Structure 1
């Protein structure tokens, strides 16, 4: 498995684990509560920071485990990355319509922020899924 594929797997795992944990914590407060009273900004920023930090730390640990492959990329890796990022961009562009529509409808900031957060998560996961599929099924 190439170092780029390992980083993609790290991105996918972190991209699922952190948002699921965050959403389980914050959305569990929604039933029976006025969403304007839920303190979500700090936890959301924390989850974003934890996601970025975990991705970096896990990528460094993986690189240290096999240093000879750490920064070796070839044309195939670059093309797979390009295709995955391309798909992620389109997913983000399409899904970002939801928070935009929510803002235009003057919905609570809570829902707008979470729709945008979900758009970023879906874009990252779509990008990782395309890359993993390309690595697993072949280029």
Structure 2
């Protein structure tokens, strides 16, 4: 497994774990009937995002210590897979921006705007990672 593929697996796992952490912190308040204007979502969201960044950095280092790669330099195939994954994942960034724009025009609570953006970031990370992992296994499509 290449250095880039290992990083993609780590990115996928951390995205899922970080969002799960966030949901486990915020969702009980929402389900308990707390008005969304009173839900403390900012600190958990910042902890989830910041924690994901730190865990990804430390995880990348640990993965390379335990399972060292022959090279950390990507080849042409790695660059093509990276471009494909980025193009596919970017669609959810756009969807999140449009969703936040519509919610702000409807004067929705900040809770919903922030959560739509965060959800779309997570979905973009998942879609990007899955696209890259499929491309590593099946090859880059030549449309």
Alignment TM-score, normalising by the size of structure 2: 0.91
Q: Aligned residues, how many?
A: 139
Q: Give the unaligned 5+ runs of structure 2.
A: none
Question: Is it true that 1:4 corresponds to 2:1 in the alignment?
Answer: no
Shift of 1:88: 1.2
Shift of 1:70: 4.7
1:118-137 C-alpha deviation (Å, 9 max, x unpaired)? 01111111111110010122
Q: Classify 1:116/1:98 alpha carbon distance in 2 versus 1 (closer, same or farther; 3 Å).
A: same
Q: Give the unaligned 5+ runs of structure 1.
A: none
Equivalent residues in 2 for 1:1-139 (5 A)? 1-31=1-31, 32-139=33-140
Shift of 1:62: 1.4
Distance in 2, matches of 1:9 and 1:50, equals 17
- SS of residue in 1 equivalent to 2:30: coil
Moved more, 33-42 or 62-71: 62-71
| Paired residues of 1:63 and 1:70 also in contact (CA < 8 A) | no
Moved more, 41-50 or 22-31: 22-31
Alignment TM-score, normalising by the size of structure 1: 0.93
Distance in 2, matches of 1:22 and 1:37, equals 16
